[in-house]
Amino acid sequence: MQDDDKKLAAEAAVAEIADGMRVGLGSGSTVAFAIAAVGRRLAEWPSATFFSTSQRTTNAARAAGIPIARFADQTELDLVIDGVDEIDPQFRAIKGGGGAMLREKILASAARRMVAIADGTKRVATLGTAPVPVEILPFARSFVAVRTTALGADPVLRMTVAGKEFRTNQGNLILDCHFGPIADPARLAIDLQAIPGALGHGLFLTEIAAAYIAADGIVTKMERAGV
């Protein structure tokens, strides 16, 4: 049932794509359904250009017949479709369960519009049930861990199922920082970004313009006021 809801949310968001758009595709299990939907409808947008937030997304997109363009030559996108680990009523989210939050934030910041897609289990009243991923320079692993602990986190180095250190597409490490309920996400984002060696974090506080949330087979579209 959860996968059915993810598929419904993803397909609803894909309907926002128009021919000629520059579209960023995020990462994660819900985005996989968006990639499949784009692949089925690709002929509707012959002049659209697609960009990827991770090598995993690039591989999935190409397998679905979607050409992925080079983002390094871009400064602005029209639309980004991406999943979330959690999202609150103020459209603030935690992302990075797939380890691609640094690239995801770059594309989200470049986009005129970012839409989040999720099943109903991702809606929360207060952020913090999920850990906040922090991408870190390997050289600064212990230093950043101590600094995040001072901010109230229980940082855990992300590992692969094979028991090796997880590496991002940039070759960096991830600390999954468990804060519990986050009273002031904006303050925490500033404090995390100020740590030398912390290259990016999974708090997305202003990027999301709209969300498609599906629960029990019903998709609800929510727009952030003032966007």
Q: How far apart are CA 9 and CA 101, in angstroms?
A: 20
Is 221 annotated in some ligand binding site?
Answer: no
Same-domain check for residues 84 and 58 = yes
49 vs 107: CA distance, rounded Å:
14
Identify whether residues 52 and 106 lie together within a single domain: yes
Same domain for 53 and 140: no
**Residues 189, 173 within the same domain:** yes
Q: Confirm whether residue 164 is marked as ligand binding.
A: no
Using an 8 Å Cβ cutoff, are 165 and 66 in contact? no
Domain span including residue 31: 2-123+205-217
Same domain, residue pair 110 and 77: yes
Q: Is 109 annotated as a binding residue?
A: no
Catalytic residue among 11, 104, 135, 207: 104
Answer yes or no: 104 catalytic: yes
Q: Say if residue 82 carries a ligand binding annotation.
A: yes
Q: Does 8 lie in the same domain as 113?
A: yes
How far is residue 205's CA from residue 189's CA, in Å, rounded to a whole number? 9
* pTM of this structure: 0.96
47 known member of a binding site: no
Residues 113, 153, single domain; the answer is no
pLDDT at 227: 64
CATH code for position 145 = 3.30.70.260
> Which of 122, 125, 188, 186 has its CA nearest to residue 153?
188
For every one of its 227 residues, what pLDDT tens digit does the chain have, with 9 covering 90 and above? 798 999 999 999 999 999 999 999 999 999 999 999 999 999 999 999 999 999 999 999 999 999 999 999 999 999 999 999 999 999 999 999 999 999 999 999 999 999 999 999 999 999 999 999 999 999 999 999 999 999 999 999 999 999 999 999 999 999 999 999 999 999 999 999 999 999 999 999 999 999 999 999 999 999 998 76
Instruction: Say if CB 117 and CB 212 are below 8 A apart.
Output: yes
For residues 82 and 153, state if they share a domain: no
Closest of 126, 113, 120, 101 to residue 210, by C-alpha: 113
Q: CA torsion sign, 181 to 184 to 190 to 196?
A: negative
Q: How many domains does the chain have?
A: 2
What pLDDT score does 226 carry?
Answer: 72
CB-neighbour burial class of residue 208 (10 A; exposed 0-12, middle 13-18, buried 19+) = buried
